[in-house]
Amino acid sequence: MKDETKEVSMDGTERKGTSRRGFLTTTLAAGGALAGAGLARAQGAPDPLITEVQSWAQGWGDGVDATPYGLPIHYESDVVRRNVSWLTADAISSINFTPIHALDGTITPQGCAFERHHSGAIELSKADYRLMINGLVDTPLVFTYEDLERFPRVTRTFFLECAANTGMEWAGAQLNGAQFTHGMIHNMEYTGVPLRTLLEEAGVKPEGKWIYVEGADASSNGRSIPLEKAMDDCLVAFKANGEALRKEHGYPVRLVVPGWEGNMWVKWLRRVEVGDQPWESREETSKYTDTLEDGTSRKWTWVMDAKSVITSPSPQSPIKHGPGPLVITGLAWSGRGSIARVDVSLDGGKTWKEARLAAPGQDKALTRFYFDHVWDGSEMLLQSRAIDSTGYVQPTKTELRAFRGVNSIYHNNCIQTWWVKASGEAENVEVS
């Protein structure tokens, strides 16, 4: 029997094909399916959380000044940075990892954004802060913190990825959790002065082609950066996510080098020297190269290529419910532009479906993606694949190894696979 009517919806468009009755039946059927899958519980034993007045409704809550600067509620105490103790000899020159498996959206709260220090996080006050610009400039300058605050400033969101992120995974699937395989990344909204403005204030001489940037910590973390990049989009930042930088992220001032390796984002920035060539002898250049299969090394591989990872489900974020609706979500980013598309595979890369981006990809910033799935309860080989605004497609592990071998540490941007079992638990694996 044909049951076709015309309906005019609120926005005035005509909907053909379903009568009100037909619509109701479908909705109810879908509702029933969701209830069956555990999304809604209308029947069964009375739930005391609904029927009884609970203890928290029988007295007062905390007054407004209980925590002048709030921390996450204690129920969330496992959402913290973690390290891998065997990776480094001590915690001073070490790294920890952002709990990306437990976060959503794109902004990383500073309190759980990974840290990487070569000689520990130092305490430097705004009063003691100085930034010097010298070398091939018309007027060498020294800025105080207050000086920096008087230049026109900008606010922009960027990801910072350590070049070593995913570096333990070259030879095989090793660390069991997105936090550990992909957590050397964070994404913050920075406020600061374009480095270009300060360099123009000092006046770069025509021979100036490079800058050398260093921090006030014992390691100084000195790096050479082409002047072109310095004049393009680098920021001398003093705020992150609206508030002062945390000590561990470079308080009071850090350099932001959008899309480039995290090691160039000098914390506790104290000096910018302009020169006509890179200062290779001053740097740990041997550390930041990518050794290829034939023994030769790539150097100056500053840009972070497009990459993505499913953050949930993942080993630290297993599926805790049975078959039915399942939100698959993750992060994608590219140092060469914005994320144009993310695909998700449930079968280890044999077939792909397009994921939904939470918001259009932003230049050199994290993009959140969702894939709304109805899980049949069978095991999956979950993968995500990022495609950026240059058309670059994130490579498989096999493709990347064919070009890069397995001797590198840095720049592993391959597709990650999580084996999700029927139990809902997930494991870090490789597919051939």
Footprint of ligand MTE (CB under 6 A): 113-118, 160, 162, 186, 215, 217, 219, 221, 248-249, 262-263, 265-268
CB of 266 to ligand MTE, least distance (A): 5
Whichever of 217 and 343 has its CB closer to ligand MTE, that residue is 217
**Token representation of residue 360:** 């259009």
Residue 263 makes contact with Co ion by CB under 5 A: yes
Nearest to 187 by CA among 254, 247, 259: 259
Pairing of the two strands 6-8 and 14-16: antiparallel
CB of 87 to Co ion, least distance (A): 13
CB of 164 to Co ion, least distance (A): 6
From residue 249, give the alpha-carbon distance in Å to each of 35, 116, 186, 189, 370. 46, 9, 11, 13, 29
Cα 252 from Cα 275, distance rounded (Å): 26
**Which residues, numbered 162-181, are part of the site for Co ion (CB under 5 A)?**
162
CB of 123 to ligand MTE, least distance (A): 13
Cα 118 from Cα 162, distance rounded (Å): 13
Q: Are 293 and 405 in contact (CB under 8 A)?
A: yes
**Residue 251 near which of Co ion, ligand MTE, none (CB within 5-8 Å, type-dependent):** none
Cα 24 from Cα 34, distance rounded (Å): 15
**Residue 221 near which of Co ion, ligand MTE, none (CB within 5-8 Å, type-dependent):** ligand MTE
E-assigned strand segments in 94-222: 94-95, 116-117, 130-135, 141-144, 154-161, 185-194, 210-215
**Residue 249 near which of Co ion, ligand MTE, none (CB within 5-8 Å, type-dependent):** ligand MTE
Number of other CB atoms surrounding residue 408 within 10 Å: 22
Residue of 262, 278, 315, 348 interacting with Co ion (CB under 5 A): 262
Whichever of 98 and 263 has its CB closer to Co ion, that residue is 263
**Residue 219 near which of ligand MTE, Co ion, none (CB within 5-8 Å, type-dependent):** ligand MTE
Which residues lie across from 341 on neighbouring strands?
387
Whichever of 250 and 315 has its CB closer to ligand MTE, that residue is 250
Would you call 59 helix, strand, or coil by DSSP? Answer: coil
CB of 221 to ligand MTE, least distance (A): 3
Helical spans, DSSP H, in 255-362: none
**Residue 117 near which of ligand MTE, Co ion, none (CB within 5-8 Å, type-dependent):** ligand MTE
Residues at the interface with Co ion (CB under 5 A): 116, 162, 262-263
